């Protein structure tokens, strides 16, 4: 896992998307809004077109990123206010091109402590499954799922695991008794 | 019955459902935050169509990628087409088209094939 995403979160300029020309990284720290997700979709498309060349991973990266960001978008509404200068509804998002056809996505966001154990066990569960098992698990879940009011169908994390080329990396850092900073790393 | 027409854009698919030809096409991306909201008119149109369908129905999907909340809505479209097929009121064909080398979309077609009782023609374009 990238070292200390919480520190990057604290140091990153709020609300600004950073994407140097010719660079292999796009980063953002701030509230995840629908407008931000729209902007980042267009930005990544133009990065692929102009700098990163068309890659088989283009759509995969996009699909995983959207899943991660929409997840945060739906959850971060509950995290409001400030804690020691940290905006709790903000999230950090980093997209990095490691080599041709290998990309890494990181997200960091605050989460209520009460949600951690459930979240941890869901990621651990999908990380233990092999490709075929993930496929079956996804199909079973899809066939029997109902959409929640948040729009997700509990399928997001399975879909991310299916598209990822490595296990999903995750870390929780407790900030107070009530909430923690969750970091996820996904390689596609 | 009026055709259902949506232009495709960066987040939502194009839709061209035509009751007089029986050709129902959905293409592009489907990544809206609130998929249920987006697909509501699509389901309503299909419910109407199921009451008086064309003798032939050709349902064509050609998606680039979609989010998981859309995957459930796409399944619901399949379910409606499945019940149309079972009713015997229309001769139904279903095509799931994917772009060259797009294994994810090919596999997504397979996912639906394992869930619904319809023969889905999964083809590269």
Q: Are residues A159 and B68, on separate chains, in Cβ contact within 8 Å?
A: yes
Residue ranges per structural domain of chain B: 4-124
Q: By the CB < 8 Å criterion, does B7 face chain A?
A: no
Task: State both tokens at B61.
Answer: 């999907």
Domain enclosing residue A107, as ranges: 5-187
Average pLDDT, chain A: 88
Find the CATH number of the domain harbouring A62.
Answer: 3.30.565.10
For position A74, what pLDDT does the model report?
84
Q: Which CATH number fits domain B4-124: 3.30.750.24, 3.40.50.300, 3.20.190.10, 3.90.180.10?
A: 3.30.750.24
Distance CA(A163)–CA(B109), nearest Å, equals 15
For position A184, what pLDDT does the model report?
96
pLDDT-derived band at A1, boundaries 50, 70, 90:
low
- Contact residues, chain B, for A152 at CB < 8 Å: 68-69
**Any bridge partners for residue A183, and if so which?**
A108, A171
Q: Are residues B72 and A142, on separate chains, in Cβ contact within 8 Å?
A: yes
Find all residues with CB under 8 Å of A17, minimum gap 6, and list them: A26, A27, A28, A36, A39, A40, A43
Give me the torsion for CA of A33, A34, A39, A45, rounded to 10°: 130
A27-77: pLDDT as tens digits: 999 999 888 888 888 888 888 888 887 667 888 999 999 999 998 988 877
Helix H, strand E, coil C: the string for A50-104 is HHHCCCCCHHHHHHHHHHHHHHHHHHHCCCCCEECCEECCEEEEEEEEEECCEEE
Whether residue B28 contacts residue B64, with contact meaning beta carbons closer than 8 Å, is answered with yes
B83-122: pLDDT as tens digits: 999 999 999 999 999 998 899 999 999 999 999 999 999 9
Number of structural domains in chain A: 1
The predicted complex's ipTM stands at: 0.93
Q: Which member of A34, A56, A135 has the closest CB to residue B33? A: A34
For position A148, what pLDDT does the model report?
56
């Amino acid at each position: 896992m990238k070292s200390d995403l919480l520190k990057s979160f604290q140091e990153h300029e709020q609300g600004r998307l950073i994407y140097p020309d010719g660079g292999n990284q796009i980063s953002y720290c701030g509230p995840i809004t629908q407008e931000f997700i729209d902007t980042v979709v267009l930005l990544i498309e133009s990065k692929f077109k102009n700098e990163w060349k068309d890659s088989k991973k283009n759509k995969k990266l996009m699909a995983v990123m959207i899943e991660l960001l929409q997840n945060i978008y739906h959850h971060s509404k509950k995290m409001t206010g400030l804690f020691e200068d940290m905006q709790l509804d903000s999230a950090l998002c980093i997209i990095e091109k490691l080599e041709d056809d290998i990309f890494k996505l990181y997200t960091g966001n605050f989460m209520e402590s009460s949600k951690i154990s459930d979240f941890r066990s869901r990621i651990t569960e999908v990380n233990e499954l092999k490709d075929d098992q993930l496929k079956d698990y996804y199909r079973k879940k899809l066939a029997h799922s109902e959409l929640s009011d948040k729009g997700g169908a509990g399928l997001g994390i399975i879909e991310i695991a299916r598209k990822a080329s490595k296990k999903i990396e995750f870390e929780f850092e407790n900030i107070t008794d009530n909430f923690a900073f969750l970091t996820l790393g996904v390689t596609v | 019955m009026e055709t259902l027409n949506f232009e495709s854009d960066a987040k939502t698919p194009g839709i061209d459902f035509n009751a007089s030809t029986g050709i129902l096409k959905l293409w592009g991306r489907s990544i809206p935050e609130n998929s249920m909201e987006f697909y509501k008119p699509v389901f309503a149109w299909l419910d109407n169509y199921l009451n008086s369908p064309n003798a032939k129905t050709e349902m064509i999907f050609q998606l680039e990628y979609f989010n998981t909340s859309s995957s459930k809505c796409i399944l619901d479209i399949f379910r409606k087409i499945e019940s149309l097929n079972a009713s015997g009121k229309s001769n139904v064909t279903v095509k799931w088209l994917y772009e060259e080398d797009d294994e994810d979309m090919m596999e997504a077609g397979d996912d639906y094939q394992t869930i619904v009782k319809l023969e889905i023609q999964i083809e590269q374009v």
